Structure 1
Amino acid sequence: MPLPIYSHPSLTVLIDDSDSFLKSVAFQLDPALASKCFADTSSALAWIGAHGEPQPGRLAASYDTYPGPMEGCNVAFDIEQIHRISFEPERFMTPSVVVVDYSMPQMDGLELCEALRHLPCKKILFTGVADEKVAVDAFNRGLIDRYIKKSDDGALDKLEAEIVSLQQAYFAARSDPLRDLLELHNHSFLSDPAFSAVVRMVADQHGIVEHYLYPNPAGILLYDARGRAQLMVVETEAGMDAHYEVGCDNDAPPSFLQAVRERCIVPYFREGDGMYARDFAKNWHRWTAPAQRCRGAQTTYYWALFPLAPGELEQPAHPFEAFLREREHETAAP
């Protein structure tokens, strides 16, 4: 699966007319899969409508509005929008997956899914009543994305696995309309399977729970659950050549030029425009990290992780751990 341009923990909305069943399911799900429960369909629709991100969402490109053929239009997109999502405290409340029962007194589950069709949230029919024919028809009509019977062996394990899968699909779908455009701006690694695998490996190793495409230098902004940020700087052969040329133009030390020429380091000169300047001559090692290589389908990528100190980003990110604590406190409150 291609790498989403951004991904963060999101909310699973559970809707069932049995309050006791809702509490049981919410209790048994992985705590990292934060959930919100509704036994009343009207309340559920109102809440999801207020918190769900409409199509096309917060990230959208702008096009020329003058009459003319579409292929001749100019397209503009502010890449800075992407990582700024991490500054939004309410991002974890995004309802990415809705799990709904079929047989409910106010409206059945498929009627509810129909009412949510305009939203990009993924939908799971989790029921003991609807037969397979009804579920298949709903799937073919695009009303639901999955169907799980409550009576199935390991039903809750299946539900949890599908929630995780659909949350990933949710962010992938939010990325697809912009992917081709971003690949034209030094972000070809977004669609490279080899590099996507590297990012997922790094996420596993460092406990990363959210990531965002970063514009300058090109790379991925990573956060763990405690809100600690790292920037994964990604360079191509052309990018490394540019660092070398700028270094030569600014009389960089031979040791720096050799390290760049041999692809031993990835530079990230945070002060200034990100490239080498004469002021860095004595301490250039402070602004570099050992280069890791990823052989992609079309090119070789050179990447390195740079921990970001508090204050290096425009705003601090509200940590996922803090969000979970707040949710736990809200649930426990009388």
Structure 2
Amino acid sequence: MNSLLGCYFPTTVIFVDDDRGVLKVTNSFLNDDVANYDFFTDPYKALELINRSISTDFIASNISSSEARIYEMYKTMYNAKRHEEVSTVIVDFQMPAMNGLEFCEKIENPYIRKILYTGVADEDLAVHAFNKGLIHGYIKKQDPNKSKVINDFIKTSQVAYFRTLTDVLVGSVFKEINSTNPEETAFYDPVFIKYFDALVKKHNICEYYINEVVGGFICISRKGELSTLYAFTAETLEDNQINTHAILRDLIDLEDPAYAALTKDIEENRKTMCFPFYGESFIDIDVHNWKNHIHSLDIIEGNQPYYVAYVSHPGLEKDLNLYSFEQSQEAR
């Protein structure tokens, strides 16, 4: 069943081919907005880099609870080296030092996606390797649309990489924290998934991280600009509205006619208070800026109603010292 990812960020894709000309041509048509790329003619040097690459493992047994693992997933956005993580390897089958299948067998990280680049003579071997699960796909050198095929493979491989890392965890956290069947949540709701995918595209979001505290996602653009998707069910919104009323009572006179429209909007679930959460705590609010945290709600009618607010936080990335995907590319 299709579901949202617990997190996603651009990674590094490795190309291995003993023919420098092939690598040069490949580099000319790759989409730089999708991933970082490294190229090797020496498979041993490529393996050395791949096997010493950082690897995010949210399924690690040394993290005791699902809730703690969700927090580890969220904290990945503060890791300046996250975009160096290798998610995908595209390797030529016919190389003098070792063939592509031998190369794939030496990759230690089980989550890395392995794609074989094959000629006509090697296609049957590639199909056999794919059917046995030794590789995750293959690309024909003679394919007239190989530039599109390779770029599409990179996109789908990165998604598959993060799906492997986060699917089990996301399902378990819903059961552990909320005693909820994961398939009854927004994560598995096709209507909500369609909304989220459109949101990512519309706002040029290149990475996102689930945040249990806000009930949604922390989103980051290529330049490092921060935003948050707050998402509520009817039940969680009711709790949030109770908190909103309690906070506003301490800040303003809710009986004042000047706030009648605001009070009505909150009571009728057209607006709510949403607080930016980054690091270890919420961003402080006070009487001078509380209006900045009142946001209009849209309703997504899926398997159940979802109340959502997408909020940008301009300039906040500077306070948090986030390292963006654009910065990682400029540093290469």
TM-score by length of 1: 0.84
**CA distances 1:194-225 after superposition (whole Å, capped 9, x unpaired):** 22221211111111100000121211001111
The answer on whether the counterparts of 2:226 and 2:317 sit within 8 Å (CA) in structure 1 is: no
Q: State the AA in 1 paired with 2:266.
A: V
Distance 1:230 1:76 in 2: 22
Distance 1:257 1:131 in 2: 69
The answer on whether the counterparts of 1:62 and 1:77 sit within 8 Å (CA) in structure 2 is: no
Distance 2:97 2:70 in 1: 43
Distance 1:38 1:105 in 2: 14
Pair 1:85-2:76 in alignment = yes
Give runs of aligned pairs for residues 199-214 of structure 1, distance below 5 A: 199-214=196-211
Distance 1:120 1:143 in 2: 12
**1:143 paired residue number:** 134
Shift of residue 37, structure 1, vs aligned partner: 0.5
Distance 1:204 1:143 in 2: 33
Percent of matched pairs sharing the same residue: 26
Distance 1:50 1:313, change over 3 A: same
Distance 1:134 1:199 in 2: 39
Give runs of aligned pairs for residues 85-104 of structure 1, distance below 5 A: 85-104=76-95
**1:290 paired residue number:** 296
- Of the candidates 320, 325, 329, which is equivalent to residue 315 of structure 1? 320
Distance 2:245 2:322 in 1: 38
Give runs of aligned pairs for residues 178-327 of structure 1, distance below 5 A: 178-184=169-175, 185=177, 188-247=185-244, 251=249, 253=254, 255-269=261-275, 284-297=290-303, 299-311=304-316, 315-327=320-332
Give runs of aligned pairs for residues 100-139 of structure 1, distance below 5 A: 100-116=91-107, 118-128=109-119, 130-139=121-130
The answer on whether the counterparts of 1:212 and 1:220 sit within 8 Å (CA) in structure 2 is: yes
Q: State the AA in 2 paired with 1:103.
A: Q
Distance 2:289 2:158 in 1: 44
Distance 1:181 1:314, change over 3 A: farther
**2:36 paired residue number:** 34
Matched residues, number: 313
Distance 1:221 1:41, change over 3 A: same
**1:67 paired residue number:** none
**CA distances 1:58-108 after superposition (whole Å, capped 9, x unpaired):** 4546587xxxxxxxxx76534322221111111111111100001111110
SS of the counterpart of 2:220? strand
**2:257 paired residue number:** none
SS of the counterpart of 2:81? helix
Distance 2:17 2:241 in 1: 61
The answer on whether the counterparts of 1:52 and 1:121 sit within 8 Å (CA) in structure 2 is: no
Q: State the AA in 2 paired with 1:150.
A: K
TM-score by length of 2: 0.84
**1:156 paired residue number:** 147
Question: Where does the alignment leave 5 or more consecutive residues of structure 2 unmatched?
Answer: 255-259
Distance 2:270 2:107 in 1: 51
Distance 1:256 1:60, change over 3 A: farther
> What RMSD in Å do the two structures reach over aligned CA positions?
2.9
Q: State the AA in 2 paired with 1:3.
A: L
**1:13 paired residue number:** 14
Distance 1:149 1:245 in 2: 59
**1:46 paired residue number:** 48
Distance 2:305 2:52 in 1: 44
The answer on whether the counterparts of 1:231 and 1:305 sit within 8 Å (CA) in structure 2 is: yes
The answer on whether the counterparts of 1:59 and 1:82 sit within 8 Å (CA) in structure 2 is: no
Distance 1:264 1:228 in 2: 26
Which stretch of structure 1 is more off in the superposition, 143-152 or 249-258?
Answer: 249-258
Distance 1:3 1:38 in 2: 33
